[in-house]
Chains A and B, each alone.
Chain A
Amino acid sequence: MLTEREIERYSRQIAFIGEEGQERLKAAHVVLAGAGGLGCPAALYLAVAGLGRLTIIDSDQVEMTNLNRQILHWEQDIGRNKTVSARDKLQAVNPDMVIDDVCEVVTGQNAKALTRQATLIIDALDNFPARYALNLAALVHGIPCIHGAVSGYDGHLTTVIPGETACLQCIFPNPPGGSEFPIIGTTAGIIGLMQAHEAIKFLTGRGTLMKNRLLIWDGRDSSVTFLDLEPDPECTACGNGTQDTGRGGGES
């Protein structure tokens, strides 16, 4: 049930998604892996949309070089855990949202336990080993996972529905190399917001999800292209392929 205060606070979107849609947002628990360039805008917009519960997972501390894009972390936060820095801002913007902060690296060992209670998972991580581990956990639990990634002016997004769509390992069987990537803040903002938007569509049931489609954002000319995807029957994560032949692996 929504409170009178919530009905007023969300009146402009209740007019669109109905009280039922708002109640679904309130009842939902999103597990957000990564509180960086993608995770910050995604979390902020889910908080103001009236999400009921958010778990934020990130093992990093805020650094000066994060501030060009990680909009929940400010000068005053340098050196603090990103999960705590993000929680403070999100709690201030929406005191009603329950927030769990988990200062851990996502690995094959902990991913299943961290995501077990989720209604929905958001992959806002910054490296493929951790993304593969999160993908496997989502598949095991049968929980949808919204994947996004960025570099420079480029970004992409897809929504993985276990048993229905291509999974992350089907789409990207081999991880791109490199650990530090150049990035313009708006690229991360655009893809992070698209991830939050996918989450709102999924949770309210209103709209069409990016299922079996890879959205490719090109910031050079602000163009969007879609690549059609399909599950790979030989996928090492969701298909018949065996893990030990997979080069991506699920371990971090």
Chain B
Amino acid sequence: MKITVRAFAQFREVVGEVTVLDLPQRSGLPVLFAALASRSDESRGMLFDDQGAIREHVIFMVNRKRVPRSSLDSIILYEGDEVAIYPPVAGG
């Protein structure tokens, strides 16, 4: 199934603005993250910390709806879903 990933801010520089991934049916977000991470070390470093956990500050949205961290493992993706990834900035 095809899932569209929209990347924002620094993550856009690493994976591109829009990426279409072909994932197995009923994949969850961890499968999508792993697919993105496999594209480059930079991509992996932006999504995962040194312990291999998803970086806590990164914001995820599925079909424009915010996904709380507690639901990261339970959400199932469907053909045509759009996942947005935003690593927020902090400076001023």
Binding site for B on A (CB under 8 A): 34, 36-39, 124-128, 131, 148-152, 154-156, 171-178, 181, 183, 188, 214, 216, 218, 220, 225, 227-230, 232, 234, 247
Contacts and interface: CB of A to CB of B under 8 A. Distances in A.
Given A172-B59, A216-B9, A220-B12, A181 B66 contact: no
Given A220-B12, A247-B56, A125 B65 contact: no
B30 interface: no
Contact of A229 (B57, B66, B84, B88): B66
A218 B64 CA distance: 18
14 contacts: A128-B90, A149-B88, A149-B91, A151-B89, A154-B9, A174-B57, A174-B69, A175-B90, A181-B90, A181-B91, A183-B91, A218-B8, A220-B12, A232-B68
B92 interface: yes
A81 to B, nearest CB: 17
A149 B90 contact: yes
A63 B84 CA distance: 37
B87 interface: yes
Contact of A225 (B8, B88, B92): B8
B45 to A, nearest CB: 12
Given A175-B57, A218-B8, A228 B65 contact: yes
Contact of A156 (B56, B57, B65, B89): B89
Contact of B92 (A125, A230, A234): A125
Contacts of A214: 86
Given A150-B92, A175-B57, A176-B57, 6 more contacts: A125-B92, A149-B90, A181-B91, A188-B92, A216-B8, A229-B66
Contacts of B12: 218, 220
A38 B91 CA distance: 9
A175 B9 CA distance: 16
A150 B12 CA distance: 15
A228 B64 contact: yes
B32 to A, nearest CB: 18
B91 A177 contact: no
